[in-house]
Amino acid sequence: MPVLEINNLTKRYGKITALNNLSLTIEAGHVYGILGPNGSGKTTTLGIILGVLAQDDGSFSWFGDKYGANPRKEIGAILETPNFYPYLNAAENLDIVRVIKGLPPQNYDEILKIVNLYERRKSKFRTYSLGMKQRLAIGATLIGSPQVVIFDEPTNGLDPEGIAEVRTILQNVASSGKTVLMASHILDEVEKVCSHVAIIKNGNLLATGTVGSILSSDMTVEVMSTDAEKLRNVLQESSFVKKIYDHKDFLECAVDQSLDTATLSQHLHDKGVILTHLVSRKKRLEEEFLEITQTK
């Protein structure tokens, strides 16, 4: 069962179509990046699935609707800017999050240490630098240890040092086994933190898949054989295959750029594997990718 299923979401602001029939599926354990230039609809998407914006069309479902109309208590999320009560300190602000989530009283020292705010825990939120605010927001998403965390441009506006610090925190969160959904307009960030990516532009989904297949300079091939097990074994032993991702109907491999499909096909044939499916992808996605970086 997917953690989140988005079906044909559409959102219009007057004449602007901010989201156009967007569909995505996010499985447990994915670290999913939504990559797109400014104004592409990332925040709009997150706002809808977090219940603060109403879609004009389409639907979404969290955890297979296990938690009914309000699944948000099972999710830790920030949207755009960190939003806290400026006259309260870090612990007091975190306590409000805890009460809303309906959790018993707890000590926030551990979370504050993770986001490197322990020393400043008694300072009022309004006295924090942007980086500190952003880190407190990340800390707030960890309260109650939710299975899913959502970040919207978590490094926005930070200096290089702050970016590095936040990224390390994000990488740690991601490797803790949580499902992560992160919006960003920075390719590098998604590449470093995420396992999967959806590229959107002008509210349209351009591409989606593993980061390896979409963002790396390697070529990606989809292959399938009547004997999937044997196919996998042969691929694993081949020197030109860098990585293998499982899909329902095929295997996706990152391979050397220099490899062409004829060679691959011949090689597999020589090893006794008969292919039923062979697609190489590279050009198309690279073009889309270029388009995005140009808009930036």
Partner 1 sequence: MIKLINLEWMKFRKNSVVQMLLWIFIIFFPTLIFVGKEESLTANNPLLKSGVFFNFPTVWDWLGYDGNWMVFFALGFLVVYTISIEISYKTMRQNIITGLTRTEFFLAKLYIVLIFVLIATVLYAITGFTIGWFHSADPSFAEAMDNDWAIPRFALMSLTYLLFAMFIGFAIKNSGLAVLTYLSYGILLEPMIRWLGHAQIVEEGISKNLYPMNAAEDLMPMPFYQITQNMPNSDGAILLLSYKEAAVTSGVYCVIFLGLTYYIFLKRDM
Applying CB under 6 A, the residues found at the interface with ligand ATP are 13, 16, 18, 36, 38-44, 153, 185
Query: Any contact of residue 102 with partner 1 (CB under 8 A)?
Result: yes
**DSSP summary character for residue 89:** B
Paired tokens of 190: 């998604």
Q: How far is the CB of 21 from ligand ATP (least distance, A)?
A: 15
| Length of the chain measured in residues | 296
Question: How far apart, in whole angstroms, are the C-alpha atoms of residue 220 and residue 256?
Answer: 9
Q: Which of 211, 186, 183, 184 is nearest to 197 (CA)?
A: 211
Q: Is 81 in the site for partner 1 (CB under 8 A)?
A: yes
Q: Binders of Mg ion among 43-72, rule CB under 5 A?
A: 43
Rounded Cα gap, residues 203 and 198, in angstroms: 12
Sole window of 96-104, 162-170, 207-215, 237-245 interacting with partner 1 (rule: CB under 8 A): 96-104
Q: Which stretch binds partner 1 (CB under 8 A): 74-82, 207-215, 234-242, 264-272?
A: 74-82
The dihedral sign for the CA sequence 114, 118, 120, 124: positive
The item of ligand ATP, Mg ion, partner 1, none sharing an interface with residue 87, based on CB under 5 to 8 Å by kind, is: partner 1
For residue 294, give every residue at least 6 positions away whose Cβ sits within 8 Å of its Cβ, in sequence order, or none: none
- 69 versus 262: smaller Cβ distance to partner 1: 69
Q: Please select the residue that binds partner 1; options are 1, 59, 66, 83, rule is CB under 8 A.
A: 83
* Sheet (strand 4-13) strand order: 16-26, 4-13, 57-62
Q: Is there binding between residue 127 and partner 1 (CB under 8 A)?
A: no
- Write the burial class of residue 264 (CB in 10 Å: 0-12 exposed, 13-18 middle, 19+ buried): buried
Going residue by residue from 21 to 60, which x/- string records binding to partner 1, judged by CB under 8 A? --------------------------x--xxxxx------
Q: Which residues bind partner 1 (CB under 8 A)?
A: 47, 50-54, 69-70, 72-73, 75, 77-79, 81, 83-88, 92, 95-97, 99-102, 140
Q: Which residues bind Mg ion (CB under 5 A)?
A: 42-43
